[in-house]
Copies of this chain bind each other. A is one copy, B any other.
Amino acid sequence: VSEVANTVLRSNGGTDVVIGDASPFVIIGERINPTGRKKLAEELKQGNYETVEADALAQVAAGAGVLDLNAGIPGFDEVAMLSAMVKIVNDLVDVPICIDSSTPEALEAAVPLAGGKVLINSVTAEQHSMDRLLPLVAEHGAAVIGMANDEDGISMDPDVRFAAAAKVAANAEKHGIAREDVIIDPLAMPIGAAPDAGTAMIATMRRIRDELGVNLSCGASNISFGMPGRHEIDAAFLTLMIGAGMNTAITNPLHRPVKKAILAADLLLGHDEFGAEWIKDHRAELELAQGS
């Protein structure tokens, strides 16, 4: 596997997080997202950010290096909610944020409020998406996740996905965005519906790394949608992805099988010398189990 350049994000407090081949895997905590979370959605509608705060603290404590912030509730004021999330989380924890929306207005409002160097999630290879969002990325010196789909939707053909990724990389370059500030999401689809979901990703990733030289991320839990034993599927999936050269993903560090798989992969790939992090996590788990 060829080497890719490091992506460096920065927290509001000035702390850098490095995404790259020589660094431990970076977990982007997925929890702050009302999709499928009724209680959180209800709170957000009432301007209550207590769960957001609790989720931010819990995910960082569990090892999230970055926090994804998503405020998408159909029919409600995403601009206001996403902006509030950015300010609250920026003040609460010292990790970079990943500002996540499919609504350009929400990104345009929230990104300028963030300190440090944020990750914008996401642009697609659709021309209207790139034309509108890449200037925002460039203006704020942000990094961006580019989804490997375009106007024709999501293909199961790795070469079609690669072409979409290449379009995002080329357009980003035109807007003056450094190559290392583009992270491609090769699109994790539910394996229960698409038996080639994993192999298509691995093939896409190989071309993206070799030919575009960019980092890779994904929304990891999509892979197990509809299957029983989701956390264990996610864990094995992330391990395979890490082996194929993925250095960050949006996932849940509070899911123990996921966290352990990531720590074990770091250990096995030489990013946790003598297992210091692995042993620390193991001890904490034992202490928790013993109620001490």
Contacts and interface: CB of A to CB of B under 8 A. Distances in A.
Contacts of A279: 227-228
A204 B195 CA distance: 29
Interface in A169-210: 191-192, 195-199, 202
Interface stretch (A79-87, A140-148, A211-219, A259-267): A259-267
Interface stretch (A41-49, A90-98, A111-119, A234-242): A234-242
Contact of A243 (B196, B235, B240, B261): B240
Given A227-B278, A243-B244, A275-B227, A233 B267 contact: yes
A163 interface: no
Specify which of A199, A240, A274 lies most central, judged by the most chain B CB atoms within 10 Å of its CB: A240
A126 interface: no
A264 B282 contact: no
A270 interface: yes
A260 B239 contact: no
Each complex incorporates copies of this chain amounting to 2
Contacts of A283: 228
A36 interface: no
Specify which of A191, A223, A260 lies most central, judged by the most chain B CB atoms within 10 Å of its CB: A191
Nearest to A266: B236
Contacts of A244: 243
Nearest to A244: B243
A236 B265 contact: yes
B239 A275 contact: no
A195 B232 contact: no
